[in-house]
Amino acid sequence: MSVIGARSTGRRSAGTRSRHADLVITGADVYPVDAARSWAGAVAVRGDRIVAVGSDDEVRELVGPRTEHLHLPGRMVLPGFQDAHVHPPFAGLDRMRVSLHDAASRQECLDLVGRYAQENPELEWITGGGWSMEHFPGGTPVKEDLDAVVGNRAVFLFNRDVHGAWVSTRALELAGITADTPDPISGRVERDPVTGEPTGTLHEGAAYQLRDQLLPPPTRREWEAAILDAQAYLHSLGITGWQDAWVTPATLEAYRSLAGAGRLTARVVGALWWERSRGLEQIPELVEQRERGGAPGFHPRTVKIMADGVLENYTGALLEPYCDGCGGSTANSGLDFVEPDLLGAAVTQLDRLGFQVHMHAIGDRAVRNCLDAVEKAVTATGRRDSRHHIAHVQLVHPADVPRFRELGVVANLQAYWAQSDVQLEELTRPFLGEERMATMYPFGDFLRSGAVLAMGSDWAVSTPDPLAQIEVAVRRLGRGDDAEPFLPDQRIPLPDAISAFTAGSAYVNHDEAGGVLASGRRADLAVVDRNLFACEQGRVGDARVELTVASGRVVHR
């Protein structure tokens, strides 16, 4: 990285400021992500705004004695990425506790838990998460493994998708969960098929019930530290803004505190959490949270509703029942976490009150229920600029694909999941069957139908690296993988994948100043170490972000 000149910390006179830029980048391949898909050679920033995008010669005129001038041949400049579905407070908390996200096996998970337990003997509860289901038979780890490395201590570890938890014998004892304990309505206790004894895995509501009753909640200072840790990591990946898909009253206060103190350098939209055990009576509370929670750079004006669970534990809501894994069928078609009539009424009322609704839908029935709910809102209130969106859209009935564009619903894609892996092949395919597998992650169909696409990582469920996710969207293969692509007809071109992670996510975040490099737009930039369009066969996951600028400030170098 060639640095020409130096940035002064002194104040600049109004006259000088009007002529010169604070930051100028020349010599790079600048890809503004505009409608024309044009290219430029340089970009200039003054304050928190872009003041020029053009040729080197045009932009050099803005270089003054106090301008930081970066001459970056071989690099590519993009708008800052925006993650449309991510969980930074919880991901940051995991990074500060037991993080199993990088563990490649059952034994690595146990080694990490055992080491953390030895290093923290004073803790009553050992908490964290990130374990992958494919590392355990049937996707369900057992308590005996934890007991062997922690002894008689309480352990609670969410899995990567936060739809299940691995717990120790002591944790089950403290919760009073035995063979005689009934399953909660919204979850399930994994049990020994002979004795009925809990084995150590809790699904959905069973996990959350234990957490809420027994685990000491993080303090506001801990939440703030978690958000700041996550923010630094996301900035290192070129991410300058996001939509937090799970904002609780506690994390709302942490965000508001950080934003008020000027420590939140990203632009964040907060999706307030809809308690699925409650009904419409919680809406005034959400309005109150929106009104008191906002601060510069933090906008809590979205509501997150979970329509169903996930396929791997059979709580994803399906139009037809799950297969039994052996060629037959079961009586189970998953769970509606919010009953369809209530979902329709909730979306209608929230829409009328000016909220955007961010819906989780994994199964095809859940996707249809969410689309039906938006249709009811449109019928009741007319078309508004709400930009409601459905995240995950893992299984979508072909008849529902065109409804996204018809209803103005954004398809919020978690692109990294659209590849064949052990979890997909062993824990999903046998229980869906080949016909439904062919309708998974229909990104290409969404694009061809004219739907607006946004992208989000769902981190800490999977990597937050936009470049790794974009590679899967383009290739339907993981980084460096040369196997058969997963449903290759659903690949999307690189320009559309980049647009989804920049302009598309900015659109869903109601961010009219971000997502595109143009004069007058907010100065959010990501500098990548190579031109992504020159990467062979779309292998962009090997690229790395060298510089991130958020609102004109260098937040990663």
What are the distances in angstroms from CA 395 to CA 19, 106, 256, 478, 501? 54, 29, 36, 20, 21
Question: Is domain 125-214 in CATH 3.40.190.10, yes or no?
Answer: no
Q: Which tens digit of pLDDT belongs to each residue from 63-104?
A: 999 999 999 999 999 999 999 999 999 999 888 888 898 898
Mean pLDDT of 389-396: 98
Is the previous residue joined to 226 through a cis bond, with omega within 30 degrees of 0?
Answer: no
Residue 532 pLDDT greater than 80, yes or no: yes
Q: For 59-75, give the secondary structure using H, E and C.
A: HHCCCCCCCEEEECCCC
Burial of 512 (0-12, 13-18, 19+ CB in 10 A): exposed
Q: Which tens digit of pLDDT belongs to each residue from 316-331?
A: 999 999 999 888 899 9
Is 55:41 a contact under the CB 8 Å cutoff?
yes
Token representation of residue 385: 């600029």
Residue 441 pLDDT greater than 60, yes or no: yes
What pLDDT is stored for residue 283 in this prediction?
Answer: 98
What pLDDT is stored for residue 160 in this prediction?
Answer: 83
Q: Which tens digit of pLDDT belongs to each residue from 186-240?
A: 889 999 999 999 999 999 889 989 998 999 889 999 999 999 999 999 999 999 9
The CATH code of the domain at 275-512 is: 3.20.20.140
Residue 3 pLDDT greater than 60, yes or no: no
The CATH homologous superfamily for domain 2-74 is: Urease, subunit C, domain 1 (2.30.40.10)
What are the extents of the domains in the chain? 2-74, 125-214, 275-512
Give the residue from 395, 406, 344, 391 showing the smallest Cα distance to 369.
344
Mean pLDDT across the chain: 94
Token representation of residue 397: 């009935």
Tell me the C-alpha distance between 334 and 40, whole Å: 50
What are the distances in angstroms from CA 21 to CA 77, 207, 362, 374, 522? 17, 53, 47, 45, 14
Q: Give the model's confidence band at 383: pLDDT under 50 very low, under 70 low, under 90 confident, else very high.
A: very high
- At 549, the amino acid letter reads V
Mean pLDDT of 450-455: 98
Name the 3-class secondary structure at 391.
Answer: strand
What pLDDT is stored for residue 311 in this prediction?
Answer: 94
- Residues 6+ away with beta carbon under 8 Å from 111: 149
Residue 1 pLDDT greater than 60, yes or no: no
What pLDDT is stored for residue 12 in this prediction?
Answer: 40
Q: Give the model's confidence band at 7: pLDDT under 50 very low, under 70 low, under 90 confident, else very high.
A: very low
Mean pLDDT of 25-39: 97
Residue 5 pLDDT greater than 50, yes or no: no
Give the residue from 474, 455, 453 showing the smallest Cα distance to 465.
455
Distance of alpha carbon 455 from the chain centroid: 8
Q: Which tens digit of pLDDT belongs to each residue from 161-187?
A: 888 999 999 999 999 999 999 998 788
- Residues 6+ away with beta carbon under 8 Å from 34: 516, 517, 518
What pLDDT is stored for residue 18 in this prediction?
Answer: 59
Same CATH fold assignment for domains 125-214 and 275-512: no
Tell me the C-alpha distance between 455 and 526, whole Å: 16
Q: Which tens digit of pLDDT belongs to each residue from 254-308?
A: 999 999 999 999 999 999 999 999 999 999 999 999 999 999 999 999 999 999 9
Residue 2 pLDDT greater than 50, yes or no: no
Q: Which tens digit of pLDDT belongs to each residue from 466-497?
A: 999 999 999 999 877 778 999 999 999 999 99
DSSP for residue 440: B
Residue 350 pLDDT greater than 90, yes or no: yes
